[in-house]
Structure 1
Amino acid sequence: MEHVRSVAVGVWVEAGSRHEPEGRIGMSHLIEHLVFKGTETRTAEAIARTMDSVGGQMDAFTTKEHTCFYVQVLDEHLPLAVDLLTDILLHPVFDAEELEREKSVVLQEIKMVEDTPDDLVHDLFAAQLWEGHPLGRPILGTREAVNGYDRAAVLTHFGEEYVPPRIMIAVAGNVTHDRVVDLFGRGFDGFTRAVTPRTDTPPLMKAGVNIVHKPLEQVHVIMGFPGLHHSAPERYALFVLNDVIGGSMSSRLFQEVRERQGLVYAIHSGVQAYVDTGTLYIYAASDAPNFSKVLKSILKELREIKKSGVTEEELRRSKDHLKGSLMLSLESTSSRMNRLAKHEMHLGSFLTIDAMLAAIDVVRHEEVQALVTDLLDEDRLVLTTLGPLDRRNLPRELHR
């Protein structure tokens, strides 16, 4: 990206919450925090000051399938970015006192999620959808688990999971491939660690209704259906279908439930994809008296799509929306870096912008309609609610 002056650098580790054994729930997220708390040559304050001194940004995030440590700086400061990233991953000290402080920080983060219903309902939904599988666990872990970790447990997990074969580097911005290889080659020189084998099993989706009572102003709901895994050939057709259902302001659910009926402020659909499974979901929030109307309206729209199909106008509009959103997102170096990494991890190769635009363009009406038939199966529906709801407020067909 020669037209920009910045560079985004990400070190991606295939270590997420789904890879944690039963006794290490939330460990990946805790380690994400801890590596910034000091290395053999830098204190936590020194790491922060070094990045602030060049006006850069340094952060990390944990998902169910990976952890990413990233830096965004001016292109002239790329060597510093690489030095910091390799330092925190090769030489973290995991100081015992810092560990206790950071455990307290993570516990506050867990409490914050518990006080944020539109976040909490997603954790409850995952726990119901993937019951008994690591995908169903919260990324942050539980209070009991986090409280119980000591330095030895952190060192063991870090040594087993943060190994070269599970690490990938993605960079986007005003930089050349050779320069990146040279800098990281020197930064990771001598980094060798054996891989500990894992046992990954695909999850089974469990249909049903879960009503969680909590004194809130609104009832938050997620309605989920089967989805597709990361590399499924039909994924672009699913992106189009999601856009039609609730992925944009012109979508069926947004227009009907919010704009025409005024029953909600927030309603949308989304796609969650993993290496071996996925889900298509709908989220909405409404006060208890209107909740039954909201659910009935959502089900009515989904049944109408199954009965009459997606229109040609909806197909064209959704394709245009997806292509426009894609093009706008690629103006950001950090977005490009994220896309590079995900393509490599999920597909094993990088798709050009033209290839992605073409993949959207060639989605056929029949492909979208086939997904409607295959995925929008009410017998496989998963419903999670959080708030002041009585089961009697559910539509009769959802009394399970």
Structure 2
Amino acid sequence: SLEAVGGSLDAFTGRELTCYYTRVLSESLDLAIDVLADLVGGPTFLEEHVEREKSVVIEEIRGLDDAPEDLIHDLVAARMWRGHPLAGSILGTEDSVNAFTAAGVRDFWGRLYRQPSLIVSLAGGFDLDEARGRLTELLSLAGGPAIQDRRPPDVAPPALVNWRREVAQEYLCMTTPTPGFGDERRYALQILSTVLGGGMSSRLFQKIREDAGLAYTVYSYSDFCQDTGMFGAFLGVSPDKAGAALEMTMSEMVRLAREGFSQDELESARAQVRGGVLMGLESLSTRMNRLARSYYYHGRYQSVDELLGIFDRLTVSSVMDQTAEFLDPARWTLVAYGP
């Protein structure tokens, strides 16, 4: 029905959140709310529908084996957060998916898809009072039992993990645990990651790809959940170049920890963050996601000015004071996937 009015309906799942969303013209907002309310608030979970979707998900799981750059991040999470729900693949395994039943899925929905777990986010051209009234009427899910208190994962000690597979490249992921989303150091870690490997002007890109020609894909990243996070670097290289590329990556991290970085690098990293935030506002989907995540992680709306102000107040010394410990090679786990 949404496609008939030029709209769309989709969903995605992360490690901590599931999102169901529509995109429609403003004139079709009532229809979009009706569809979402029916989908989230009153699903039927018929046996034949669940069985069909299980088959689709299993095909997606099998497809992941053909995407090593995606798969290695699952392997990293499985090692770093082993024994904790965050360690599991978002897709699950074939065994876990095959074990699902319509009754089990219905029970899960009944326990967790309840207020106050539900966040509704809207972005675009609409009348707020009218939309609020419709949402209150259609998405007033009853309160359920309190969700079990979260427990932070016990982070596994550093290790070298080898996964041998017949693929053309060697995929390397170096990671270290970090604090979670609520820790103020995450802003400094974002700057550090940008300086180290966050774009074509970053140190790893320039050293490993442009100067040495050892890899096509090289980057660093930071990833935060509510109670934990990780900071890492990724390389996709030919097997005969893996040793040199890995040594160069570690050397650059040690040098960064020892010498810090320049004011020009800070300004460049800050400009990248600022540009990403502001240009993201041109997308209604990004605005929608940002609103929901702000309430999920902060319990309130964090304005763009507030966010950018935090980055503006960071200095080279404050970034290094907050993040140097995460550059210590003794903290890092290396996961290698390749021939």
**Both structures adopt the same fold (TM-score exceeding 0.5):** yes
Q: Normalized against structure 2, the TM-score is what? A: 0.97
The structural deviation recorded for 1:91 is 1.8
- 1:346 alignment partner in structure 2: 297
Q: Supply the distance in 2 between the matched residues of 1:95 and 1:383 (Cα, whole angstroms).
A: 44
**Offset from partner CA, 1:174-229 (integer Å, 9 cap, x none):** 1233222111012124x314224414221122211100000000011110012231
Q: Would you say the 8 A contact 1:165–1:195 is kept in 2?
A: no
Amino acid at match of 2:273: L
The structural deviation recorded for 1:346 is 0.6
2:203 paired with 1:203: no
The structural deviation recorded for 1:315 is 0.5
- 1:321 alignment partner in structure 2: 272
- 1:86 alignment partner in structure 2: 37
State which of 246, 249, 260 in structure 1 corresponds to 2:197. Answer: 246
Q: Supply the distance in 2 between the matched residues of 1:74 and 1:164 (Cα, whole angstroms).
A: 28
Matches within 5 A, 1:277-356: 277-356=228-307
Amino acid at match of 2:244: K
- 2:134 alignment partner in structure 1: 183
SS at match of 1:170: coil
SS at match of 1:61: strand
Amino acid at match of 1:377: D
Report sequence identity in percent.
Answer: 34
Q: Supply the distance in 2 between the matched residues of 1:238 and 1:106 (Cα, whole angstroms).
A: 34
Indicate how the Cα distance of structure 1 residues 199 and 346 shifts in structure 2: closer, same or farther if over 3 A, else same: closer
Q: Supply the distance in 2 between the matched residues of 1:203 and 1:149 (Cα, whole angstroms).
A: 25
Amino acid at match of 1:239: Q
- 2:68 alignment partner in structure 1: 117
- 1:194 alignment partner in structure 2: 144
**Offset from partner CA, 1:54-81 (integer Å, 9 cap, x none):** 1112111111111110111111111111
SS at match of 2:122: strand
Matches within 5 A, 1:1-400: 50-189=1-140, 191-206=141-156, 207-388=158-339
Unaligned runs of 5+ in 1: 1-49, 389-400
The structural deviation recorded for 1:234 is 2.3
Amino acid at match of 1:92: P
Unaligned runs of 5+ in 2: none
- 1:396 alignment partner in structure 2: none
Q: Supply the distance in 2 between the matched residues of 1:323 and 1:290 (Cα, whole angstroms).
A: 35
**Offset from partner CA, 1:33-64 (integer Å, 9 cap, x none):** xxxxxxxxxxxxxxxxx111111121111111
Number of aligned pairs?
Answer: 338
SS at match of 1:159: helix
Q: Supply the distance in 2 between the matched residues of 1:219 and 1:112 (Cα, whole angstroms).
A: 19
Q: Would you say the 8 A contact 2:112–2:144 is kept in 1?
A: no
- 1:42 alignment partner in structure 2: none
Q: Supply the distance in 2 between the matched residues of 1:328 and 1:55 (Cα, whole angstroms).
A: 25
Q: Supply the distance in 2 between the matched residues of 1:377 and 1:239 (Cα, whole angstroms).
A: 17
Q: Would you say the 8 A contact 1:305–1:372 is kept in 2?
A: no
Amino acid at match of 2:296: M
Q: Supply the distance in 1 between the matched residues of 2:180 and 2:99 (Cα, whole angstroms).
A: 34
> In angstroms, what is the RMSD of aligned CA positions?
1.2
Q: Supply the distance in 2 between the matched residues of 1:192 and 1:251 (Cα, whole angstroms).
A: 50
Segments ≥4 residues shifted beyond 4 Å: none
**Offset from partner CA, 1:226-254 (integer Å, 9 cap, x none):** 22311212222111111001111111001
Shifted more, 343-352 versus 195-204: the winner is 195-204
Q: Supply the distance in 2 between the matched residues of 1:241 and 1:222 (Cα, whole angstroms).
A: 17
Q: Would you say the 8 A contact 2:80–2:177 is kept in 1?
A: no
Q: Supply the distance in 2 between the matched residues of 1:148 and 1:278 (Cα, whole angstroms).
A: 30
Indicate how the Cα distance of structure 1 residues 148 and 226 shifts in structure 2: closer, same or farther if over 3 A, else same: closer
Q: Normalized against structure 1, the TM-score is what? A: 0.82
Amino acid at match of 1:301: E
